[in-house]
Structure 1
Amino acid sequence: MQITDYKYIYFLGIGGIGMSALARWFRINGFEVAGYDRTPTLLTDTLHAEGIAVHFEDSVELIPSAFLQNPAKTLVVYTPAIPQNHSEYNYLKENHFTIQKRSQVLGLIAGGMYTIGVAGTHGKTTTSSMTAHILRHSGVNCAAFLGGITQNYGTNMLLNNPVDRLSQVPCVVEADEFDRSFLTLFPDLAIVTSTDADHLDIYGSHDSVLESFSAFVRQIKPAGRLFMRKGLSLADKTTAKVEEYGLHEGAYHARNIRIEDACFVFDIVHPAGLINDIKLRVPGYHNVENAVAASAVGLTLGLSGDHIRAAIETFGGVKRRFEYYLKTEHKVLIDDYAHHPAEVKAFLSSLKALYPDRHITAIFQPHLYSRTRDFAAEFSQSLSLADSVILLDIYPARELPIEGISSDIIFEKITCDKTQCLKSDLINVIKNRPLDVVATIGAGDIDSYIQSIKVILENVTI
């Protein structure tokens, strides 16, 4: 099955951020695209403005006739949110149209291009976004499908310029291990940033997580290359060439790391030489390491050190990854999506390095009952790096409560100054507290309180 087998692409649930990205890619690359969604949104308005037919009534009659008359040439992309009694879905299924999930179709797209897959239990969104930005900023015709909204482009994707030979166009894909969807990819180049235990509600054990990553790297093309973070155990799982990278070790690594004007400045050592004095606007030791990995891809694709330095220095980051909302002489407010103990530790360690003489208050919202259960002690240890912690109740996301599991099991082992409250009480709790550097942390809806926290910080009299 190849993407070139199809002429018509029909989307059931076209209005989602991931689905709309695929729709736009197909449209720009010459396919006929149409779709259904339940309600109009800004995203569906954008698709309509770009020439994509979208309707909002579940009706087979509204599917363009050319699609219905050519089932062999029509690919249907659907989201699992479409109900099983959906009439369009059932008609297309009963009439033997090819129906695929988004992850499967993303694998098809990537399979027709020069694929760069970026995987890892943490770090993959920033690293894939950096990689895509390095290529785009350096004038490379590329595409990208990312897991977050980039600050540089205001979107989770980059569209390539249409060409006759897509196989020569690099496509950067954030390879998500959550539901093993990264196993739809067969990369030419791959980065693996981390293989920590996570998503144990899906995998059951760390060994199962590791086996999934082993399966992913086995799918790298034999003539391809794996850039693996130093210390991971994947080198014997692939026939591709393996090169290690790291913060201080590996064929690609950083040296002379220093902080200047609240920015990380460093050199990158690589097998063919050195890139000096790179200034990273997105702070953090972990982001220095991410930049090393992204630079390894750029160098492999023939970019110069000057190209890479210029690109990294203009990289604006990703929404909810070390994102500043307030940065004055007296008050700082930063938001970060960290929801695994290793991510929280990396974030707070970097924050302490940036502001060594300031008081750091971490407001943390645990994400998932199962993750809280599995990593309570590790969360306590990581959060204790802050000077003060305000711990909220668990954001359940897709889960039902688990008996005996609450944020209490994290709170009891935090060793720094600590307060516990419900999310609904947060603003009242912080109103009369002395605040200096404040960080909101978590993958739930903690970011919905940022503007209210910002108002409090801005109104505090120094």
Structure 2
Amino acid sequence: MAFNPWQTRLSNRDRSLRVHLIGIGGAGLSAIASVLLDMGLQVSGSDRQPGALLQRLAEHGAQIVIGQRAENLTERPLAERPDVVLISSAVDAQNPERRAAEALGIPVVKRNEFLPALLAGRRVIAVAGTHGKTTTTAMTVQALRCGGIECGYIIGSEVPGLGNGAAGTAPEFVIEADEYDHMFLGLHPSIAVITNVEWDHPDCYPTPASFRRAFVQFTDNVDRNGLIVACSDDEGVRRVMAYAPSRGPRWIAYGLNETADLGARNVRSLPGQGVEADLVWWHAPKGKLELAVPGVHNVRNALAALAVGVSCGVSMDCALEALRGYQGSARRFEWKGEAGGVTVIDDYAHHPTEIEATLNAARRRYPDRRIWAVFQPHTFSRTQRMLYRMGESFDAADRVIVTDIYPAREIDDGSVHARELVAASPHPAILYIGALEDVVAYLVEHVAPGDVVITLGAGDGYKVGEWLLERLQS
């Protein structure tokens, strides 16, 4: 691959390279910033609001400014201006800082253009899929590091003991391969994981077929002598596998089905919130998989991590021990606290399948307790295109509250409202309460000791749980 000057400097780990990130506090860019800082490069960035990730990056040497303004670049001395500006997918063409960079002649790029140079010379392990990417990536990193492979990594959430990004010293580099804005098509992995292929991001992929084609293209980017680890339980994955050429990467199928190369049988809940299953590797018993995190979906995530770890030379016993110690990551069935006998959990689930999986895991964990689901729909396009499927995803909850839609990168054009989701849902105890503060006030009046409140969504709906705990404690 031919690189331009800044890409060449990045691939050569040139410590004089200056990288500025617009949206540095987001999940994707903050992890990249952590890797760049580990490499000793000069990192600066801006974001709209302060946060814990920004503070941590600043403590590690990044120059952070709050607010995205042209002056963040134009008022810098010429010698201190960045060599390249990396932007998140949420930064549109009218962003003043982006426009200033373009006017100054500074290259402005997205992740799919930036990552090939960042990962040049590494053995890339890319974890893709509609659901489960973050957990599977974190589990894979933990399995490799337990086996003595000090891999680099980029994870879409904070993980205890790992953070969300590091350069690492081993050739292996594990990256959460985000399909949004076609980011993952900039990767050329040696090992690829596909957890599932279920249509999402209708603003980027207008049809299920276009979404599926992107994953086929992703598999085409895998090294011909490489490996693809794929969940054969998933229909979308099986359809992608059908496009696999006869000569190309080797495939390992994992799942709960009888034909999987790496399989789990007899999944059962453990005391506490964990789960275990009997492990089968190439149709031979291989002991037990034990997890401290709940849900059948996490059994599948762990199988993918096991397959990658063993393929990289980690012993099965070592990988199983690493997964046994995995404690989860931020916003993935994250226990937030308990007050007044009410347990509060937060989860990033915002797609119907993710909502179902999270609530089913909660029901297995708390079979005799009343479960409240507080759902903040994420983006108007997703809510509109998946309205009825979304409305059917709350069955495992006893009570459901739907808040106003979190717009993220979109503008409300009036085409859909959260009330329509409530109307489309067959759930017998679902209601709309728009503002987060009003949701908290309602819960304070209606929750009882023993209840479990789960906040769901990829926006700022997690604040409901935090505010609820404060109110109940007081």
Normalising by structure 1, we get a TM-score of 0.86
| CA drift at 1:440 | 0.9
Pair 1:458–1:23, CA change in 2 (3 A): closer
In 2, distance between residues paired with 1:328 and 1:266? 33
User: Does residue 1:121 correspond to 2:134, yes or no?
Assistant: no
Which residue is equivalent to 1:440?
Answer: 455
Maintained 8 Å contact 2:127/2:136: yes
In 2, distance between residues paired with 1:40 and 1:378? 33
Which residue is equivalent to 2:375?
Answer: 364
Q: Which ranges in structure 2 are unaligned for 5 or more consecutive residues? A: 66-70
3-state SS in 1 of match to 2:368 = coil
Q: One-letter code of the match for 2:224?
A: P
**1:409-458: CA deviation from partner (whole Å, max 9, x where unpaired):** 22122323222212231122112214412111111111112122224555
In 1, distance between residues paired with 2:24 and 2:253? 36
**1:352-408: CA deviation from partner (whole Å, max 9, x where unpaired):** 112222221111111111111111111111113211111222112222224351122
Which residue is equivalent to 1:71?
Answer: none
Q: Which ranges in structure 1 are unaligned for 5 or more consecutive residues? A: 69-73, 162-167
Maintained 8 Å contact 1:370/1:402: no
Within-5 A mapping of 1:44-443: 50=60, 57-59=72-74, 62-64=77-79, 76-79=84-87, 81=91, 83=96, 87=100, 89-93=102-106, 100-153=109-162, 155-161=163-169, 169-230=171-232, 231=235, 232=237, 233-235=239-241, 236-237=243-244, 239-249=248-258, 250-262=260-272, 263-271=274-282, 273-326=284-337, 330-412=341-423, 413-423=425-435, 424-435=437-448, 436-443=451-458
Maintained 8 Å contact 1:117/1:190: yes
Q: One-letter code of the match for 2:121?
A: G
User: Does residue 1:11 correspond to 2:22, yes or no?
Assistant: no
Greater shift, 216-225 or 79-88, is seen at 79-88
Pair 1:44–1:324, CA change in 2 (3 A): closer
Maintained 8 Å contact 1:130/1:315: yes
Q: One-letter code of the match for 1:12?
A: H
In 1, distance between residues paired with 2:143 and 2:281? 16
In 1, distance between residues paired with 2:391 and 2:61? 51
Pair 1:92–1:47, CA change in 2 (3 A): farther
Q: One-letter code of the match for 1:444?
A: G
Pair 1:105–1:254, CA change in 2 (3 A): same
In 2, distance between residues paired with 1:61 and 1:457? 48
Pair 1:9–1:101, CA change in 2 (3 A): farther
Q: Percent identity?
A: 30
Which residue is equivalent to 2:68?
Answer: none
In 1, distance between residues paired with 2:64 and 2:263? 48
3-state SS in 1 of match to 2:185 = helix
3-state SS in 1 of match to 2:174 = strand
In 2, distance between residues paired with 1:63 and 1:273? 64
Pair 1:430–1:346, CA change in 2 (3 A): same
Normalising by structure 2, we get a TM-score of 0.84
In 2, distance between residues paired with 1:328 and 1:47? 32
3-state SS in 2 of match to 1:361 = strand
| CA drift at 1:198 | 0.7
Which residue is equivalent to 1:452?
Answer: 467
3-state SS in 1 of match to 2:126 = strand
| CA drift at 1:218 | 0.7
Q: One-letter code of the match for 1:121?
A: T
Maintained 8 Å contact 1:27/1:33: yes
Q: One-letter code of the match for 1:237?
A: A
| CA drift at 1:50 | 4.5
Which residue is equivalent to 1:25?
Answer: 35
Q: One-letter code of the match for 1:310?
A: E
Within-5 A mapping of 1:29-44: 29=39, 32-35=41-44, 37=46
Q: One-letter code of the match for 2:11?
A: T
In 1, distance between residues paired with 2:395 and 2:442? 19
User: How many pairs are equivalent?
Assistant: 440
| CA drift at 1:129 | 1.2
